[in-house]
Amino acid sequence: MANPVVRAPRSIWRASGVTEGERAIPEETAIAFTFNTATYAVMMATPQDLEDFAVGFSLTEGVIPSIDAIDSIDVVEEEAGIELRIWLKAREAVEFLGRRRKMAGPTGCGLCGVESLTEAMRPPPMVGDGRAYSPDEIMAAVESLFPLQTLNHETRAVHAAGFYEPGRGLVALREDVGRHNALDKLAGALAREGSTARQGLIVLTSRVSIEMVQKAAMIGAPVVAAVSAPTALAVRMADAAGMTLIAIARKDGFEVFTHPHRVKGRIASHVA
């Protein structure tokens, strides 16, 4: 399987002169999703955690209702990329083939290839109540993400999605050149471990767009916290899903955009 990191030769130009060297950069590979031999999507992604990607993408795109619908997964490396052959059980295969569509997207493209405006704006499922978090717990969740981003430490070019549970800390983290892909891989990792997103919070290193909210809602996440800002549409979508959307999370605080009832208490220092 392709290495997720490549060392590329490059010239380094500085005021002091030019030197030669190498830089670690992330690999980007075409990943094809097929369900019972029917082509569904081709995404550009980092070639690691591919079984997680297969399961998570299937769940967040609504192809399957649960991981139990999958019979097996084959990861097949080909000259042009990697094919994820997902074999659905008989009933789910019949349902899938009846509504199959094709799509192709660049890195992390969450809406590329949808067939209508209605499909792109599909309402998210309502998330459950979940639990409330103190500001300190939210800050701890955000801060716990960065030390474990091993691929980003090496390349400085990938996103991460993590899942945090109070009392357990960061229980899962996945990285990818595409932010949507990182979230899909996280969703798959949780499902394969028999966990759900209902009793913790999802932490993202990226901005929050509508697709990120839709995918998080599909796995029942009541709280999403991101280091960057949300789009206006993402805020409206999170509000409609009953999701608490926290963004612009930094070392000194964060901003809550929707359903603030899940944030309780005071932060250690005042945030202007």
User: 210-218 and 50-60 helices cross at what angle (nearest 10)?
Assistant: 90
Burial-class residue 122 by CB neighbours within 10 Å (0-12, 13-18, 19+).
middle
Burial 155-178 (b: 16+ CB within 10 A, else e): beebbbbbbbbeeeebebbbbbbb
**Strand 223-226 to strand 5-14: parallel, antiparallel, or no bridges (unpaired)?**
unpaired
d(C-alpha 146, C-alpha 78), whole Å: 33
How many C-beta neighbours within 10 Å does residue 83 have?
Answer: 18
Active site residue 112: no
d(C-alpha 67, C-alpha 147), whole Å: 30
- Which residues share a beta bridge with 4? none
Q: What is the DSSP letter of 124?
A: P
Point out the catalytic residue in the list 109, 114, 140, 233. Answer: 109
Beta strands in 46-194 (DSSP E): 70-78, 81-88, 103-104, 159-165, 169-176
Q: Measured between alpha carbons, how far is residue 18 from residues 5, 10, 13, 22, 41 in Å? A: 25, 10, 5, 13, 43
Q: Which amino acids are annotated catalytic?
A: 109
